Structure 1
């Protein structure tokens, strides 16, 4: 009986030990699960952080590629624009050289023709008229035909003199630019328009022949524009020197025009004038308004040669 009790006690003790051991295993498993769960969570969060960082790196790389492509495109377009400007400047330079060569050739031919008319044709006409006068005086001939011939010779002489003067003015050759421009104002003044001349430069001042010739024809062409297009009643030209530069200002009280559209105003020949002044290394500016009755002001500034 005692032995049975001892056996029962051992069985109960063993069963209780199994329970304790099972509880301990359960506690261990639960502790392991509680340890594993935070580790997995941390790994997941770390993985997400790495994925986010990778995405940022890829995005930054894409942005850098786009920026580099954009910079390359800008450099390419800039080089292309520079080449286009260079080609345009080259074409413009060639065009200016052609125009200037044409102007120089024209002025040279004008001088030759003027000299030929003045020194040869006019001299021959004067000699013919003189011989005719001597013949009629010696022979006391009164003939209507001879009188008409004298009148025709005189008229032709005057016409050729005017043509010669228009080609290369005698005053310009003999006395210089200031005298010639003052004479130009007097010859263009009439009942419709009056040209006023003022100058702080001495009348006997002389410049190089080429310089005087070019400026004279520039001013002459501007005067023609005023007469033909401005409908002005009064115009004035003023001349003065400053810092080794000759400054010419021309103003009229006409209707004016849109100075910003010079390329469209081919009839005025202003672009041709601009080319001439540019060859002299000078500047050319126009102040004019089509909708205002303030007239037109033109300023020419060229270094004295």
Structure 2
């Protein structure tokens, strides 16, 4: 029987080719030899199962061959049949046939439930979660991962528990919840040390390196990848070297070493292609496209990004399709094709909304809370069992248990209150961040349009005005009068374009600061008005944070517009001064004062929204006119 297995192993290694070296042959040969010998049937089943798992990443054709051999040695054992069906589900997952994968995992789950094998159930649940993770069904994936972790920990299955923790960290990373991702991956690294498994340890180091890369902790990321590289070389992991090249490419990218990044990404892509890993190949190609458009090699970037998009669409991987569309949007924005950029951004947003929304985030937070609650309940159950075993101290132990329950509920309810408070804070921060992103995007777009008007249309109109003025000196009579009339119209158009450009993003604000920008704004605003104004300032000659300067300028612009349109004022006083850590802006007019409906209008909401972004406050007083008092904290 051993000779038969050895011939089959050698045949398999020939099929796999260069993707598995001689060292793997030695590891499998001696490892199998040491663990078999009692029963030929059990020996063969375990051997073929191990070979199916070993080839699951490198070569799906060989994996299918090993699965067929494993199936012949199941001997109607329900545990083996369940395990076989689950590994068959992994095969279809690697083939990107996700419906088939879920079908076989469900069948495996039914058998494992019948024989009540908790360790096998945890593994199957974890594998189902992986399929939903690739499909972008994060809420369901997280529910399965937390369930698998809870069962695995109860059975002291550290490998499955740590793998589930890693998968939870991956999903948190996809949702840009990086602190949560790093916490649970670090926790899983500590947990797996109880029963060290190099393959799981390698995977966890790779994932923590990814999170550190995304949060700018590049030295820590490189350290994680270096530790993972040592393990990959020890285990002769082809996928290990592939992922390390791809991930080191990201480190080089964030260090702005684009040539190194592209070289590293492409080495990772070549290795991924050699083992048939379509997801990793697509990620490496997509990242290469990002590096190319960063250095403005747009044709190469477009080729890489469209190839990866086609692959992810074929695999129905929503998360990577979402990312791919965002890179295409960034590329077209840099290339200046706003129409294509908008189309790609809309597609990115549509996929993002289909994957992540506030309901998903709340549900996932509930899952984490439920998981912690289950852990606490298990501890309570263990304590209760110990109490029952100590019959001699039954009275005191029951009293102690009752007291423990009261304290546990008090801690639990306090914990729930803290969780609700943290969730409310997180939602408020998320809303504030969203509002800030909208405002900053608006200001960025204003700046771009301002530059386009000033440097493009404005200069062309000025040039045409000068050309017409020169032409008017060369013609006589009625023709000269007509040319001068046309030149006058061009002058008016040029002045209007200049005025619009200035309103969109005043150069005085960007170049000279808040004081000169306010002086310029007031001069232009009241130039053709019967309203007189005075502007005073003190201790504000330095530059402030760009967000604060733009925010205060827009708020004052809104207030001045309201005064001109609605106040019927004759005089306006504007004061800007800094008192300790507060920047104060006072705007006072002698008009008719605020009406009740005015305090609920769009203008006031716009002012409050802008001030909330820079943590500012506004108070209105209406007595013989209107006074607006704005305060913003500054350093």
TM range (shorter): 0.5 to 0.7
Change in CA separation of 1:149 and 1:296 when aligned onto 2, cut-off 3 Å: same
Matching residue of 2:536: 198
Mark the runs of 5 or more structure 2 residues left unpaired by the alignment.
Answer: 1-404
Residue correspondence of structure 1 range 29-48 to structure 2 within 5 A? none
Aligned length: 228
Distance 1:145 1:251, change over 3 A: same
1:136: how far off?
Answer: 3.4
* 3-state SS in 2 of match to 1:269: helix
Structure 2 equivalent of residue 303 of structure 1: 634
* More helix, by proportion: 2
CA contact (8 A) 1:201 1:240 kept: yes
Q: Is the 8 A contact 2:537 2:575 kept in 1?
A: yes
Aligned counterparts of 1:244 and 1:87: Cα–Cα separation in 2: 30
2:600 aligns with one of 265, 269, 273:
265
Q: 1:193 & 1:239 partners in 2: Cα distance? A: 20
Q: Is the 8 A contact 1:252 1:297 kept in 2?
A: no
Unpaired runs of at least 5, structure 1: 1-67
Q: Using a 3 Å threshold, how does the CA distance of structure 1 residues 285 and 79 change in structure 2: closer, same or farther?
A: farther
- Give the distance between the partners of 1:92 and 1:228, measured in 2 at CA: 34
- SS of the residue corresponding to residue 256 of structure 1 reads coil
1:147 is paired with a residue whose SS is: helix
**Shift of residue 171, structure 1, vs aligned partner:** 2.6
Query: Structure 2 residue aligned with 1:283, among 600, 616, 633?
Result: 616
Higher RCO, 1 vs 2 (CA within 8 Å, ≥6 residues apart): 1
Aligned to 1:150: 487
Write the distance in 1 (CA, Å) between the matches of 2:467 and 2:603. 47
* 1:118 shift after superposition: 0.7
Q: Quick one: distance in 2 between partners of 1:252 and 1:128? A: 42
Residue number in structure 1 paired with 2:573 = 236
Structure number with higher strand proportion: 1
Counterpart Cα distance in 1 of 2:580 and 2:470 = 58
Q: String of CA shifts for 1:92-131, please: whole Å, max 9, x gaps.
A: 3322222211110110011111111111111111111222
Shift of 1:199: 1.0
Give the TM-score normalised by the residue count of structure 2: 0.32
CA distance in 2, matches of 1:135, 1:84: 74
Larger radius of gyration: 1
Match of 1:111 in 2: 447
Match among 596, 608, 615 for residue 274 of structure 1: 608
- Alignment TM-score, normalising by the size of structure 1: 0.62
- What displacement does 1:208 show? 4.9
Alpha-carbon RMSD across the aligned residues, in angstroms, is 3.5
Matched with 2:192 is none
Change (3 A) 1:142 1:235: same
Contact 2:537 2:576 in 1 (8 A): yes
CA change 1:93–1:287 in 2 (3 A) is same
